[in-house]
């Protein structure tokens, strides 16, 4: 049975036409689901009883269950159990400009990045669209507040679940869906070059973030397996083409790993690599985990690295640290539950 939270408005219009009803009924359904947050079909009083019965017959309204929550001052982490007893997680972060939510796009991840807990437990399957949408709805209900921005940086590689992720973006961006501004949606990829080109041609003005994490192939090959398929040269070409085609700035994510990618030479090399590109660099203090023997660069090293980039004319920020006390590194909460 199809889950209704996985249907874009366009797909729902096609459904209503297939049962010989007017397609504007899709708009009414979206208003009940996403504006009024009412999933009890019996309360959808502007739809005929026959239509309500047909919807109940054809659609599931099931959502993943929140089975654990952890919280820090500015962070809440959620562990969800899916219908097939797999686990995913999402993280809420409170900023001075609003509330952001980091969502998962897969159960596990096959990218195998050395620093990432998610990749330690391999990919089981892609998340369905409704399982991504439901993360937002369940958490908004739990916190009693509206999520103002969404980042696809949780468990999984979003571009490895391309069609479901695109449908998710369209539902949460829909003015009658969750009505999140398109520029309040960020997709982070480890660098699946062909999919970056596909995304480029979708004509959706989301924020694209590239998990680069190294200034050269030698280092990136060691910490990111994807670089052995799509190397830095190919990735930089794709980023430049994406920027030229979309006229959108791209974020370069760079996790600071002690003794791996954090020295002055790395900073100089990174500055040369990104010179004259419409990008900004987000330096990320590493969130250490018990299972991975990589460590966070100290604050002075990060500050010095940042200074080199600034002196070379690179736009750069140091990401504020969130959730260090609550297993907030991507995949930590899920791995604990799986290993139990």
Check if the beta carbon of residue 161 is closer than 8 Å to that of residue 106: yes
Beta strand 65-71 with 207-211 is unpaired
Scored b (16 or more CB within 10 A) or e, 137-152 reads bbbbeeeeeebebbbb
Q: Name the token pair of 183.
A: 């520029």
Tell me, yes or no, if 330 is annotated catalytic.
yes
- Cα torsion angle, 266, 267, 270, 275, sign: negative
DSSP letter at 127 equals P
Instruction: Identify the three-state secondary structure at position 38.
Output: coil
From 70, 89, 117, 128, active-site residue: 89
From 102, 116, 266, 330, active-site residue: 330
State how far the Cα of 270 lies from the Cα of 97, in Å rounded to an integer.
30
For 305-313, the CB contacts below 8 A with 24+ separation are: 305/256, 305/262, 305/264, 305/266, 305/267, 308/264, 308/267, 308/268, 308/271, 309/267, 309/270, 309/271, 309/281, 312/268, 312/271, 312/272, 312/275, 313/271, 313/275
Catalytic positions, written as ranges? 89, 330
């Amino acid at each position: 049975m199809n889950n209704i939270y996985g249907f874009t408005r366009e797909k729902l219009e096609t459904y209503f036409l297939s049962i010989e009803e007017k397609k504007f009924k899709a708009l009414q359904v979206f208003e009940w689901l996403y504006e009024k947050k009412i999933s009890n079909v019996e309360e959808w009083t502007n739809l005929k009883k026959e239509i309500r019965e047909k919807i109940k017959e054809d659609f599931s309204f099931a959502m993943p269950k929140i089975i654990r929550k952890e919280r820090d001052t500015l962070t809440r982490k959620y562990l969800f159990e899916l219908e097939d007893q797999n686990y995913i997680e999402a993280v809420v972060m409170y900023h001075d400009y609003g509330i952001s939510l980091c969502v998962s796009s897969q159960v596990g991840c096959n990218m195998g990045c050395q620093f990432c807990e998610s990749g330690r437990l391999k990919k089981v399957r892609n998340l369905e669209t409704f399982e991504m949408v439901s993360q937002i709805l369940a958490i908004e209900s739990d916190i009693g507040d509206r999520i103002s921005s969404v980042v696809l940086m949780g468990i999984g590689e979003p571009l490895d679940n391309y069609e479901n992720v695109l449908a998710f973006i369209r539902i949460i961006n829909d003015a009658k869906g969750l009505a999140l501004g398109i520029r309040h949606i960020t997709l982070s990829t480890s660098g699946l070059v062909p999919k970056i080109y596909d995304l480029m041609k979708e004509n959706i003005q989301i924020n694209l973030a590239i998990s680069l994490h190294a200034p050269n192939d030698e280092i990136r090959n060691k910490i990111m397996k994807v670089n052995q398929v799509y190397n830095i040269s190919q990735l930089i070409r794709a980023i430049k083409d994406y920027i030229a085609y979309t006229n959108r700035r791209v974020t370069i994510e760079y996790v600071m790993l002690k003794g791996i990618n954090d020295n002055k030479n790395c900073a100089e090399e990174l500055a040369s690599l990104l010179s004259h590109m419409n990008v900004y660099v987000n330096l990320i203090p590493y969130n250490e985990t018990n299972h991975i023997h990589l460590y966070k660069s100290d604050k002075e090293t990060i500050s010095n690295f940042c200074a080199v980039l600034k002196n070379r004319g690179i736009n750069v920020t140091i990401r504020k640290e969130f959730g260090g006390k609550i297993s907030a590194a991507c995949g930590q909460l899920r791995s604990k539950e799986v290993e139990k």
